């Protein structure tokens, strides 16, 4: 059985099996256009895909997967610094773009890459042998505490194992219509939100943007969102009531605040399922469609996944509902390593083969997991996006009027955390200019939402910036 079982027939062929931002495609149309992409990319080292919320993105991704070429989704708004790094690092020679958009040309930082136009009306036939499970399906770029994003190699077998485990946990079948509007360059929107439908055979409606109105209008049975999306839905009673007829609402990518869980349950009549995961591990822990959905808890490990809590001394901690430790995970859903980053691999895996998530958790005697924080203040989750403080600081320091910068994630009622930058300027510059500077060089979502110009940064005796102190200052200033 292939990775994309729904494309192998047997699931019917509605004219709108897939709708992305209003553009319907049948599975046959998708397969025909994707097969042409596959023929074009076969044998390439990697296929970069400009991951707009568009049907062309899905066609390009499916084409790469059919051909067994690792797919590298590029955030569509990424600026030259971020895009140049990703393209150089992954070694892609082709960049899939919607037909009619011309050559990719200088994709950033002087990277010349050939454009591969994706035409939704194109058709080709023929089939490809299913590649080995250990071949990478994707290289997904994810932020670390410092430096540019790292490419996580996601094997095809990990995607298949995770989607099957989630289908079991959420009773996700071909009877469902999945609705979401999440970005198509991360695990949530792309692996779960697109390949999940291709594997289970469910219809997929991608709303372009994840707005409450669009979710309400899509009339699905299964909805995915990050907590920011659910908090906006819960606050919009008209939209929320329109979801009453759904089967399951699923939240993930960041902690779902208990008040949002409760509001959503009250207005829609559905207690949301919350699940936990990471780019590197895919989704490892979840509450279940047929089990208890407990506010503030992400539930139980999914089929095949094992978890353990480890204390600062490296010793395992008991599942007693009190002990707080680092969550480590193992199982078939894990990535195989970071591309070109043996240093990062060495830091992330234990000697006995467990992946260190960097998340701090508590596990109850009933096995329910609660994520209580992150080990590092330098990894920020804003609107469900992971943002490395170091990457934003480096971008700010590239500005000629910036002498130094320190970035923290301040609590934010809409985004969970908001990027706040403390900047020492040595020339005339405003906060708005610095925000725009970061938005243009990295991705728009990495821009500071607040810039505070300061004369100095708090430092310890070794000269290291005291991030926890800055975070307290940022929190007090709210
Ligand atoms: C604003 N904009 C700018 C700008 N300021 N553009 C250029 N320069 C500037 N300075 C524009 C943007 O381009 C965008 O335009 C619009 O303003 C709004 O952007 P925003 O303010 O960033 O949107 P916001 O409302 O804050 O977004 C909230 C959100 C988003 C929830 C929609 O954060 C989101 O999509 N989050 C999902 C993240 C996700 O999927 N994470 C999964 C990671 S995987 P326009 O035209 O586009 O509106 C993972 C594993 C797991 O974590 O467990 O799932
Ligand atoms: P990413 O690298 O973008 O895949 O983000 C992964 C991180 O998102 C995890 O390490 C967690 O910190 C966070 N995360 C994902 N889902 C949840 C959740 N349900 N509750 C709390 N944190 C979450």
For residue 145, give the ligand nearest its CA: 2
Residues 6+ apart with CB under 8 A from 239: 212, 213, 215, 216, 233
CB of 188 within 6 A of ligand 2: the answer is no
CATH class given for the domain over 272-374: mainly beta
Q: Which CATH architecture has domain 5-209?
A: 3-Layer(aba) Sandwich (3.40)
CB of 445 within 6 A of ligand 1: the answer is yes
CA distance 286 to 251: 10
pLDDT in tens, 297-354: 999 999 999 999 999 999 999 999 999 999 999 999 999 999 999 999 999 999 999 9
CB of 278 within 6 A of ligand 2: the answer is yes
3-state secondary structure 208-268: CCCCHHHHHHHCCCEEEECHHHHHHHHHCHHHHHHCCCCCEEEECCCCCCHHHHHHHHHHH
Q: Tell me: pLDDT of 107 over 60.
A: no
CB of 252 within 6 A of ligand 1: the answer is yes
pLDDT in tens, 139-157: 999 999 999 999 999 999 9
Question: In ligand 1, which atom is closest to the CA atom of 181?
Answer: 35
CA distance 360 to 374: 5
Tokens of 124: 């080709």
In the CATH scheme, what is the homologous superfamily, with its name and number, of domain 379-476?
A: ANL, C-terminal domain (3.30.300.30)
DSSP-derived secondary structure letter, 189? I
Ligand 2 centre to CA of 283 (Å) is 9
CA distance 166 to 275: 10
CB of 386 within 6 A of ligand 2: the answer is yes
CB of 357 within 6 A of ligand 2: the answer is yes
Tokens of 271: 């207690």
CB of 371 within 6 A of ligand 2: the answer is yes
Residues 6+ apart with CB under 8 A from 366: none
Residues 6+ apart with CB under 8 A from 441: 79, 80, 81, 82, 395, 398
Confidence (pLDDT) at 109: 45
Question: In ligand 1, which atom is closest to the CA atom of 440?
Answer: 8
pLDDT in tens, 188-234: 999 999 999 999 999 999 999 999 999 999 999 999 999 999 999 99
pTM (predicted TM-score): 0.96
pLDDT in tens, 233-247: 999 999 999 999 999
Confidence (pLDDT) at 355: 98
Choosing from 170, 185, 226 the residue with most ligand 1 atoms within 8 A of its CB, the one to mutate for a pocket test is 226
| Domain-wise residue ranges, the chain | 5-209, 272-374, 379-476
């Amino acid at each position: 059985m292939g990775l994309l079982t729904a494309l192998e027939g047997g699931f019917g062929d509605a004219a709108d099996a897939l709708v992305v931002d209003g553009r319907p495609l049948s599975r046959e149309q998708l397969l025909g256009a994707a097969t042409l992409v596959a023929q074009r990319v076969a044998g390439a080292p990697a296929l970069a895909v400009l991951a707009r919320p568009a049907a062309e993105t899905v066609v390009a991704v499916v084409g790469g997967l059919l051909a067994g070429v690792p797919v590298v989704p590029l955030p569509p708004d990424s600026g030259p610094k971020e895009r140049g790094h990703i393209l150089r690092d992954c070694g892609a020679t082709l960049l899939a773009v919607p037909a009619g958009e011309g050559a990719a040309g200088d994709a950033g930082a002087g990277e010349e890459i050939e454009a591969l136009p994706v035409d939704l009306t194109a058709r080709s036939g023929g089939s490809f042998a299913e590649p080995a499970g250990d071949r990478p399906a994707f290289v997904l770029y994810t932020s670390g505490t410092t430096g540019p994003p790292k490419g996580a190699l996601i094997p095809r077998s990990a995607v298949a194992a995770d989607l099957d485990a989630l289908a079991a946990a959420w009773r996700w079948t071909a009877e469902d219509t999945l609705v979401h509007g999440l970005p198509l360059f991360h695990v949530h929107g792309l692996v779960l939100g697109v390949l999940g439908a291709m594997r289970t055979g469910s219809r997929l409606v991608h709303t372009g943007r994840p707005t409450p109105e669009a979710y309400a209008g899509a009339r699905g049975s299964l909805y995915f969102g990050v907590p920011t999306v659910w908090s906006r839905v819960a606050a919009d009673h008209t939209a929320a009531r329109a979801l009453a007829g759904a089967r399951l609402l699923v939240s993930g990518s960041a902690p779902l605040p208990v008040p949002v869980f409760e509001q959503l349950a009250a207005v829609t009549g559905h207690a949301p399922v919350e699940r936990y995961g990471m780019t590197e591990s895919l989704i490892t822990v979840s509450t279940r469609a047929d089990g208890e959905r407990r506010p503030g808890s992400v539930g139980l490990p999914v089929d095949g996944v094992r978890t353990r809590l480890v204390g600062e001394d490296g010793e395992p901690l008991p599942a007693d509902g009190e002990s707080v430790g680092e969550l480590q995970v193992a199982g078939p859903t894990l990535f195989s390593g970071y591309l070109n980053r043996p240093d990062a691999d060495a830091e992330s895996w234990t000697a006995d083969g467990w992946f260190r998530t960097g998340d701090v958790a508590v596990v109850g005697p009933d096995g329910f997991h609660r994520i209580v924080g992150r080990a590092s203040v330098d990894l920020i989750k804003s609107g469900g996006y992971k943002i490395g403080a170091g990457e934003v600081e480096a971008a700010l320091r590239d500005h000629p009027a910036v002498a130094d910068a320190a970035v923290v994630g301040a609590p934010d009622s809409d985004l969970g955390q908001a990027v706040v930058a403390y900047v020492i300027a040595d020339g005339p510059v405003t906060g708005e200019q610095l925000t725009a500077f970061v938005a243009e060089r990295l991705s728009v979502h990495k821009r500071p939402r607040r810039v505070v110009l300061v004369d100095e940064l708090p430092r310890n005796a070794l000269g290291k910036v005291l991030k926890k102190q800055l975070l307290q200052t940022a929190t007090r200033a709210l």
